[in-house]
Copies of this chain bind each other. A is one copy, B any other.
C-alpha cells in the first residue's frame, strides 16, 4: 500500500499553514492562484485525495460516527458523548472521538483523519479558535464532499447542516428572573469572552432579563473571564479575579455564572469574604454537572440536558445517513438530501437547590 500523504505533511513540505493547504485543496478564493496551484500539484504528486470522503461514502458504510469535541475534561461534553453513544449503539452504530483542544488546526487534522474512510458522518462542537477566526471552510468542504455533519452547542449560521442547540438565551432569562423574584437587586454576571457563542447568548439573556424587570444594567457587574483560565491549575487566578470583582461590587446580592466552575468558585470566594449563601448572596450556575450536585450548598443551576443533546444529534445524523441510503436506492438526486436541515432546540430547565432562596 502506498503511504498516503496528509494535510500536515503537505503543509510542512511547502512551509505553509495547514489551513492554507486545506483551503487551497477545497478551491477557496482566499488563497492566491499561485499558492493554490502549487499545493494542488504537490497533493496530486503525492496522491493526496481531497475527495476520497465522497468516494468512500459511495462504496461502503463504516457504521461509525465521528465525534469531535473541543475539550475532554469537561462534564457537559462527556454527557453529550454519552447520549450519542446511547442512541448510536441502539441503532447499530459505533462512535469514535477526536479532540480539537480548542485549536483550529487540530480540528482540521482530526476531521481529515476521521473522514478518511473511518466514519460515515460527524457530530461536532466548534473549537474556540475556529469561532474566533470565523473560518468554517473545513466544515463546508466536508459537507460538500457528501459527508453529513451535525453541529451541537457551539454552532454558526455560516455552516448549513443539522444542529442541536441549547436555549442558552432563555436559560439565562430563567436564571436571572429567579434571582430577581427572590429579591436580588444587584446581580452580577460571571461570563466568558464574547467570541464564545454560548457565553454571548447567556450574557444577552442576562441583559434581557434585567431590562424586562426594569433594572438598569451596570457594566461593572459583568466579569468576563479569559477562557484560558478555566483549565485546572489556573483556579487560583480565577479565584482572585472573582474576589476582586466581589470587592469592587460590595452590595452584590446575586450572581449568575455561565458555567458551574465559575459558579462554584463564586460560592467559595463569597464564603471566604463572609457572605452567607443564600441569605446574603444567591448564586446560579449553568450546566448541571457533578460540581453543582455536590457543592455545599447544592448549586441552583440551569440544566442543559447534555445527554438529550447527544441523543438528538445522533438521531439527526443517523436519520440523514439512512435517508441517503434509501433515497439513493430510488435514484433521487443527492442534492435533495442536503436540504431541509433541522435545528433542534433543547429546552433548559432551572434545577433549584440551596444556593438560592
Give A residues with C-beta under 8 Å from B: 1, 3-4, 6, 55-56, 59-64, 72-75, 78-79, 81-82, 85, 89, 94-99, 101, 106, 109-110, 113-114, 118, 232, 235, 261, 264-265, 268, 290-291, 293-296
Contacts and interface: CB of A to CB of B under 8 A. Distances in A.
Given A73-B79, A82-B72, A290-B290, A110 B94 contact: yes
Given A60-B1, A78-B73, A94-B110, A290 B293 contact: no
Contacts of A75: 73
B295 A294 contact: yes
Given A64-B113, A72-B82, A79-B73, A96 B96 contact: yes
A60 B96 contact: no
A250 to B, nearest CB: 24
A293 B235 contact: yes
B98 A85 contact: no
A98 B96 contact: yes
A83 to B, nearest CB: 11
Contact of A59 (B3, B81, B99): B3
B72 A96 contact: no
B99 A85 contact: yes
A73 B64 contact: no
Contacts of A106: 89
Best-surrounded residue of A4, A94, A106, A118 (most CB of chain B within 10 A): A94
A96 B113 contact: yes
Contacts of A60: 1, 3-4
A151 to B, nearest CB: 20
A96 B114 contact: yes
Instruction: Give me the 9 closest cross-chain CB pairs, A-B, nearest first.
Output: A296-B296, A97-B97, A73-B78, A1-B59, A3-B60, A72-B78, A264-B294, A72-B81, A118-B118
A12 to B, nearest CB: 10
Given A56-B1, A296-B296, A101 B85 contact: yes
Given A78-B73, A290-B291, A291-B294, A99 B110 contact: no
Contacts of A63: 6
Given A95-B98, A96-B110, A261-B290, 6 more contacts: A1-B55, A1-B56, A3-B60, A85-B99, A96-B98, A113-B118
A99 B95 contact: yes
A291 B265 CA distance: 12
A56 B101 CA distance: 28
A60 B9 CA distance: 14
Contacts of A56: 1
Nearest to A264: B294
Best-surrounded residue of A4, A95, A97, A294 (most CB of chain B within 10 A): A294
A150 B55 CA distance: 34
A82 B78 contact: no
Nearest to A3: B60
Contacts of A97: 72, 96-99
Nearest to A80: B72
Best-surrounded residue of A56, A118, A235 (most CB of chain B within 10 A): A118
